[in-house]
Amino acid sequence: METDVAIVGAGIAGVSLAAELASRRSVVVLEQEHAPGYHATGRSAALFAPNYGGPLLAALTAASERHLRRPPAGFAEHPLLDPQSILFSAAAIRSHSSMPLQKNSAPPMSVSND
């Protein structure tokens, strides 16, 4: 089988990249498990939380906001985000974690699983 791009891993990162490339390249996604999304993707709480994580993770999360709030026409039959009240808690020992909550950012929203 000949293909332009081989992506290793069918988590959200791999399949998102595949979807982005698929209109202009032939793409194959290689997954070691019996189903896509088996690891971190399948365990996600599905929260869109721009105030979670360090600067790099927060930037990646923020970059997805436009798509989640205004997906392309025909992408989904329902809104992708719903407002959600979330309480983050952490022990004092975690206060200097490398995964701090970012200040002054939008509150978390839940990503619809429908």
Ligand X SMILES: Cc1cc2nc3c(=O)[nH]c(=O)nc-3n(C[C@H](O)[C@H](O)[C@H](O)COP(=O)(O)OP(=O)(O)OC[C@H]3O[C@@H](n4cnc5c(N)ncnc54)[C@H](O)[C@@H]3O)c2cc1C
In the bound complex, which residue of the shown chain has the CB atom lying closest to ligand X?
Answer: 11
Q: What is the nearest approach in angstroms of ligand X to the Cβ of residue 10?
A: 5
Using the minimum distance from each CB to ligand X, give the nearer residue, 16 or 26.
16
Q: Which residue stretches of 1-114 are H helix?
A: 12-21, 40-43, 55-63, 65-69
- Give the interface with ligand X as residue ranges (CB under 6 A): 8-14, 30-33, 38-41, 43-47, 49
Reduced to 3 states, what is the DSSP secondary structure of residue 15?
Answer: helix
* Cα 77–Cα 85–Cα 73 angle in degrees, nearest 5: 20
State the Cα–Cα distance between residues 58 and 105, nearest whole angstrom.
Answer: 10
Q: What is the nearest approach in angstroms of ligand X to the Cβ of residue 32?
A: 4
Using the minimum distance from each CB to ligand X, give the nearer residue, 44 or 73.
44
Using the minimum distance from each CB to ligand X, give the nearer residue, 27 or 49.
49
